[in-house]
Structure 1
Amino acid sequence: MPNGPTRYDTVLLGSPVWNVLRPPMIMSTFTEALDFRGKTVIPITTRAMSGLGTAERDYTASCPGATLAEGLAVRGEEVSKAEAEVQTWLKRIGLPPR
């Protein structure tokens, strides 16, 4: 993907939130290396306490020209039980449920 995610209009970026605040630095390294201009970027995180943490701020900074949509943060211990929450979120943001 040397020119970025050109095949997609919407890109979901999934990661844990570490140190109560941030996605791992590899996520910023990844997004800074690609061109997300004109794309919709949606953060998805697993968390312990901090929700999305700084993911929205980090991706806004590292994806210039992208539109940041409402993300989703799921408590790590509850991922296996989060299907209803995920389906509701997908409908709310206008993505097709599975």
Structure 2
Amino acid sequence: MLLRERQTAEGLLVSVCDAACLGETYEEGEVSLNVTEAFYGGDDAEAVGDDAVVESLARASVANIVGEASVAVAIDAGVVDETRVLSIEGTPHAQLVRM
């Protein structure tokens, strides 16, 4: 999984995706998800395991999560509700916002 953290005025923004999803675009009806290098990858992204993803999501104010493995880790950690996960072309996508 690729993990990227950015500090924003609103708090910690975390992006997580399965490495195989990077660079892909998923479309279904009017919904389009572009897993760009600029947002999910780049020099700040790290290849990490489950524990690092869970630790980062626990601190996140906002998170975007794409891919079967990445979303499964968030669900297993209790950070994401499985019933709220979108599937776009069969690829899971979840967002987290803490207020």
- Bigger relative contact order (CA 8 A; separation at least 6): 2
TM-score normalised to structure 2 length: 0.31
Rg larger for: 1
**Higher helix fraction (1 or 2):** 1
**Higher strand fraction (1 or 2):** 2
